[in-house]
Structure 1
Amino acid sequence: MRQPPPIIGTLETALYARDLVAASDFWVKIMGLQQIAYQPGRHVFFRCGAQILLVFDPDATRKPPAADSRLPVPSHGTDGEGHFCIAIDGGTILHWRDHLTANGVAIEADFEWPQGGRSIYFRDPAGNSIELAEPRIWNKE
């Protein structure tokens, strides 16, 4: 079997939300991400460190592109809660807890991993499980 070419890393991650206004408010106002694209009823995109977070309305993205579309992206979408983990500096985790709680976001779990590192979990308005974690949970510094 031939080896595949090298991979640089993850460029974008997608979550799904039917209320894109609530998603935008959460990711900009609570999480501090920069919104970089918005198409009402279809998607809202954000810069998240070196990655891009894509939030799609699954009902819109399940529809195949029009035959004359300049963006022939295959249809996609899902129902149910997704998961997204954002790397943070361990020294900011208590500040993040306080910030989220002060903004009415309930912390579902606060966990010290056996191999080292800590994560906190909470939900975005669409019910997706969001994790803030120290990179060392995966032996990354």
Structure 2
Amino acid sequence: MSVAERTAPVPGGVMEAALYVDDLEATERFYAGILGLPVVLKQPGRHVFFRAGSTIVLTFLAEASRVAVPGAALPVPVHGAEGAGHLCFAASAEELDAWVAHLRAEGQVIEADFHWPNGARSIYLRDPAGNSIEFAERKLWETPA
């Protein structure tokens, strides 16, 4: 069945994305301090959430997110992941140049900086937990006309 044939609704975008980390203080220094994302919510020993445009970046201590919270006010199921994840932030070509300069000035290592076959540029680095963080031009995923 194609998307056009669906009768059920189709998701309208990603509201939140989760990454699993091993040090919340280092995570906050990276995402809030280096990337400039505002902290939305944090619970020591469990998580820090950041705003990235209209999306929330959830960072959890994986082992803490796998344990049910006794008496929790909300019925959020346990979850968690093993190993490094990936998150990509959208940026214009000019912003990518500024990100490269900023990240290098902050002592961050750019693992890759290249143009995809469709001409979109991406840069990659690692957060303190080893997650792959990408900044890419929006045209990376544009549908050809």
Residue 92 (str. 1) matches residue 95 (str. 2): yes
Which ranges in structure 1 are unaligned for 5 or more consecutive residues? Answer: none
Displacement after TM superposition at 1:65 (Å)? 3.4
Q: Which residue of 2 aligns with 1:78?
A: 81
Query: Could you tell me how far apart the structure 2 residues matched to 1:82 and 1:3 are?
Result: 32
Residue 7 (str. 1) matches residue 4 (str. 2): no
Query: Could you tell me how far apart the structure 1 residues matched to 2:137 and 2:49 are?
Result: 24
Q: Which residue of 1 aligns with 2:120?
A: 117
Query: Could you tell me how far apart the structure 1 residues matched to 2:19 and 2:42 are?
Result: 14
Q: Which residue of 1 aligns with 2:72?
A: 69
Q: Which residue of 1 aligns with 2:33?
A: 29
Residue 51 (str. 1) matches residue 55 (str. 2): yes
Contact 1:65 1:74 in 2 (8 A): no
Displacement after TM superposition at 1:6 (Å)? 2.9
Q: How many residues align?
A: 139
Contact 1:24 1:44 in 2 (8 A): yes
1:5 alignment partner AA: P
Query: Could you tell me how far apart the structure 2 residues matched to 1:44 and 1:90 are?
Result: 29
Displacement after TM superposition at 1:22 (Å)? 0.5
Displacement after TM superposition at 1:124 (Å)? 0.3
Query: Could you tell me how far apart the structure 2 residues matched to 1:84 and 1:122 are?
Result: 10
Query: Could you tell me how far apart the structure 2 residues matched to 1:116 and 1:51 are?
Result: 25
Which ranges in structure 2 are unaligned for 5 or more consecutive residues? Answer: none
Query: Could you tell me how far apart the structure 2 residues matched to 1:8 and 1:129 are?
Result: 25
1:10 alignment partner AA: V
Q: Which residue of 2 aligns with 1:133?
A: 136
Query: Could you tell me how far apart the structure 2 residues matched to 1:3 and 1:56 are?
Result: 35
Displacement after TM superposition at 1:3 (Å)? 2.9
Can you list the C-alpha shifts for 1:59-96, whole angstroms capped at 9, x where unaligned? 10001232x32111111111210000000111121111
Query: Could you tell me how far apart the structure 2 residues matched to 1:139 and 1:9 are?
Result: 15
TM-score, normalising length: structure 1: 0.93
Displacement after TM superposition at 1:38 (Å)? 0.7
Contact 1:28 1:34 in 2 (8 A): yes
Contact 1:65 1:71 in 2 (8 A): no
